[in-house]
Amino acid sequence: MHRLVLSRVLRGAGLAAVLWLAIAGVQAAPIEVPDPAAWALLSPEEQARRRADIQARLEQATPKERAQFRRELRERLEGLTPKERKALIGRTREQWQKMPPEERERIVQERRERLESMSRAERKQMLQQRRLMLEKLSPEERRAMREKLRAQ
């Protein structure tokens, strides 16, 4: 009698475990962070398309998933060598300069709206992350960044 009850309980628990695994497998996969070098090689149209897809997925993601995406993106960028960063910046600058003024203004406006929509805590966290990233730059890169900011 006890074996029969035990076997039914185990079968029920096994079924629950299988259902849980099936549901967990159906949940969305984490949002993949694009490779910076591959991203820079994409056309501006493809970048815009992928950016919109990532932003839509981030809007649907949980706060934990969004934080994980930001962390992975930051780690990817921090993992670049100074030479890779310089090349990436150069390609990005070229693409920006080739854009029509209306497109550049649209992108600036989107960034402004995104910043304005952030909570105070999110903006504070973003600034802390940027400071940490700046600390990891070489002295030459930091000096060039300061000179560029002074020129603007």
**pLDDT, tens digit (0-9, with 9 covering 90-100), for 129-145:** 888 888 888 888 888 87
Is the whole model's pTM more than 0.85, yes or no? no
* Same domain membership, residue 100 and residue 66: yes
Length of the chain: 152
* Same domain membership, residue 11 and residue 51: no
* Same domain membership, residue 139 and residue 66: yes
List, for residues 89-132, the tens digit of each pLDDT value.
888 888 888 889 998 898 889 889 988 888 898 889 888 988 88
* Same domain membership, residue 24 and residue 80: no
* Same domain membership, residue 119 and residue 76: yes
* Same domain membership, residue 61 and residue 22: no
User: Considering its fold, how many domains does the chain have in total?
Assistant: 2
Q: What is the pLDDT of residue 4?
A: 46
* Same domain membership, residue 43 and residue 16: no
Mean pLDDT of the region 74-99: 85
Domain span at residue 11 reads 1-30
**Which ranges constitute the DSSP H helices of the chain?**
2-26, 36-41, 44-60, 63-78, 82-98, 101-117, 120-135, 139-151
* Same domain membership, residue 55 and residue 12: no
* Same domain membership, residue 51 and residue 69: yes
